[in-house]
Structure 1
Amino acid sequence: MPAFSFEKISPPVRRAPAASTPKKPRGLISQMIDRLAERRARRALQGERAMRRDGKAAE
Protein backbone atom coordinates (compact mmCIF):
# COMPACT_ATOMS: atom_id res chain seq x y z
CA MET A 1 0.00 0.00 0.00
CA PRO A 2 1.34 3.42 -0.88
CA ALA A 3 1.99 5.78 2.00
CA PHE A 4 0.38 8.68 0.15
CA SER A 5 -1.71 9.35 -2.95
CA PHE A 6 -2.28 12.30 -5.25
CA GLU A 7 -5.64 13.87 -5.81
CA LYS A 8 -6.60 14.07 -9.46
CA ILE A 9 -7.25 17.66 -10.49
CA SER A 10 -9.37 18.08 -13.57
CA PRO A 11 -8.35 20.68 -16.15
CA PRO A 12 -10.17 24.02 -16.10
CA VAL A 13 -13.45 24.11 -17.98
CA ARG A 14 -13.24 25.96 -21.26
CA ARG A 15 -15.55 28.88 -21.47
CA ALA A 16 -17.43 29.84 -24.59
CA PRO A 17 -15.64 32.61 -26.51
CA ALA A 18 -16.64 36.10 -25.56
CA ALA A 19 -19.20 37.82 -27.74
CA SER A 20 -17.46 38.24 -31.05
CA THR A 21 -16.50 41.78 -31.80
CA PRO A 22 -18.07 43.15 -34.95
CA LYS A 23 -15.66 43.19 -37.86
CA LYS A 24 -14.32 46.56 -38.78
CA PRO A 25 -15.18 47.68 -42.26
CA ARG A 26 -12.26 47.19 -44.58
CA GLY A 27 -10.15 50.23 -45.18
CA LEU A 28 -10.42 52.23 -48.36
CA ILE A 29 -6.89 51.32 -49.40
CA SER A 30 -7.58 47.61 -48.94
CA GLN A 31 -10.70 47.87 -51.08
CA MET A 32 -8.80 49.70 -53.83
CA ILE A 33 -6.04 47.07 -53.83
CA ASP A 34 -8.63 44.28 -54.04
CA ARG A 35 -10.27 45.93 -57.04
CA LEU A 36 -6.96 46.42 -58.82
CA ALA A 37 -5.91 42.83 -58.15
CA GLU A 38 -9.22 41.51 -59.42
CA ARG A 39 -8.99 43.52 -62.64
CA ARG A 40 -5.41 42.45 -63.19
CA ALA A 41 -6.37 38.80 -62.71
CA ARG A 42 -9.22 39.14 -65.20
CA ARG A 43 -6.90 40.77 -67.75
CA ALA A 44 -4.32 38.02 -67.31
CA LEU A 45 -6.99 35.37 -67.78
CA GLN A 46 -8.26 37.03 -70.95
CA GLY A 47 -4.68 37.28 -72.22
CA GLU A 48 -4.15 33.56 -71.68
CA ARG A 49 -7.34 32.73 -73.55
CA ALA A 50 -6.26 34.93 -76.49
CA MET A 51 -2.84 33.28 -76.55
CA ARG A 52 -4.40 29.84 -76.62
CA ARG A 53 -6.63 30.75 -79.53
CA ASP A 54 -3.74 32.30 -81.44
CA GLY A 55 -1.51 29.30 -80.69
CA LYS A 56 -4.08 26.84 -81.98
CA ALA A 57 -4.75 28.85 -85.12
CA ALA A 58 -1.00 29.02 -85.94
CA GLU A 59 -0.52 25.25 -85.61
Structure 2
Amino acid sequence: MPAFTFEKISPPARRAPAATIPKKPRGLISQMIDRLAARRARRALRSAKMGDEKEAK
Protein backbone atom coordinates (compact mmCIF):
# COMPACT_ATOMS: atom_id res chain seq x y z
CA MET A 1 0.00 0.00 0.00
CA PRO A 2 1.43 3.40 -0.97
CA ALA A 3 2.37 5.84 1.76
CA PHE A 4 0.74 8.80 -0.02
CA THR A 5 -2.46 9.11 -1.98
CA PHE A 6 -3.27 12.04 -4.20
CA GLU A 7 -6.77 13.31 -4.74
CA LYS A 8 -7.87 15.36 -7.67
CA ILE A 9 -8.51 18.89 -6.38
CA SER A 10 -11.42 20.56 -8.10
CA PRO A 11 -11.01 24.17 -9.25
CA PRO A 12 -12.48 26.86 -6.99
CA ALA A 13 -16.12 27.67 -7.58
CA ARG A 14 -16.75 30.78 -9.65
CA ARG A 15 -17.77 33.72 -7.59
CA ALA A 16 -20.12 36.50 -8.49
CA PRO A 17 -18.40 39.67 -9.74
CA ALA A 18 -17.21 41.91 -6.96
CA ALA A 19 -19.59 44.67 -6.02
CA THR A 20 -18.56 48.00 -7.45
CA ILE A 21 -17.23 50.40 -4.89
CA PRO A 22 -19.17 53.66 -4.96
CA LYS A 23 -16.94 56.58 -5.85
CA LYS A 24 -16.42 59.16 -3.17
CA PRO A 25 -17.51 62.68 -4.06
CA ARG A 26 -14.54 64.73 -5.15
CA GLY A 27 -13.20 67.29 -2.76
CA LEU A 28 -13.73 70.99 -3.15
CA ILE A 29 -10.06 71.62 -3.93
CA SER A 30 -10.09 68.99 -6.68
CA GLN A 31 -13.16 70.58 -8.24
CA MET A 32 -11.55 74.03 -8.15
CA ILE A 33 -8.38 72.73 -9.80
CA ASP A 34 -10.44 71.02 -12.51
CA ARG A 35 -12.28 74.26 -13.24
CA LEU A 36 -9.04 76.26 -13.44
CA ALA A 37 -7.48 73.67 -15.75
CA ALA A 38 -10.52 73.72 -18.03
CA ARG A 39 -10.47 77.52 -18.26
CA ARG A 40 -6.74 77.54 -18.96
CA ALA A 41 -7.18 74.94 -21.71
CA ARG A 42 -10.01 76.94 -23.30
CA ARG A 43 -7.92 80.12 -23.15
CA ALA A 44 -4.95 78.35 -24.73
CA LEU A 45 -7.12 77.02 -27.55
CA ARG A 46 -8.65 80.43 -28.11
CA SER A 47 -5.25 82.16 -28.23
CA ALA A 48 -3.87 79.48 -30.55
CA LYS A 49 -6.89 79.93 -32.82
CA MET A 50 -6.39 83.70 -32.85
CA GLY A 51 -2.70 83.21 -33.68
CA ASP A 52 -3.61 80.98 -36.61
CA GLU A 53 -6.02 83.58 -37.97
CA LYS A 54 -3.35 86.31 -37.78
CA GLU A 55 -0.85 84.14 -39.65
CA ALA A 56 -3.40 83.39 -42.38
CA LYS A 57 -3.82 87.11 -43.21
Is this a same-fold pair by TM over 0.5?
A: yes
Post-superposition Cα deviations, 1:25-50, rounded to whole Å, max 9, x if no partner, equal: 00111101100000000000001100
Give the equivalent residue in structure 2 for 1:32: 32
Equivalent pairs, count: 53
Kindly report the root-mean-square deviation, in angstroms, between the aligned alpha carbons of the 2 structures. Answer: 2.0
Greater CA deviation, 29-38 or 16-25? 16-25
Where does structure 1 lack aligned partners over 5 or more consecutive residues?
A: 1-5
1:42 is the counterpart of 2:42: yes
Q: Which amino acid aligns with 2:39?
A: R
Q: How does 1:14-25 map to 2 (within 5 A)?
A: 14-25=14-25
CA distance in 2, matches of 1:27, 1:37: 16
CA distance in 1, matches of 2:32, 2:14: 41
- Structure 1 runs of 4+ aligned residues shifted over 6 Å read none
| Alpha-carbon offset, residue 19 of structure 1 | 2.6
Q: Percent identity?
A: 69
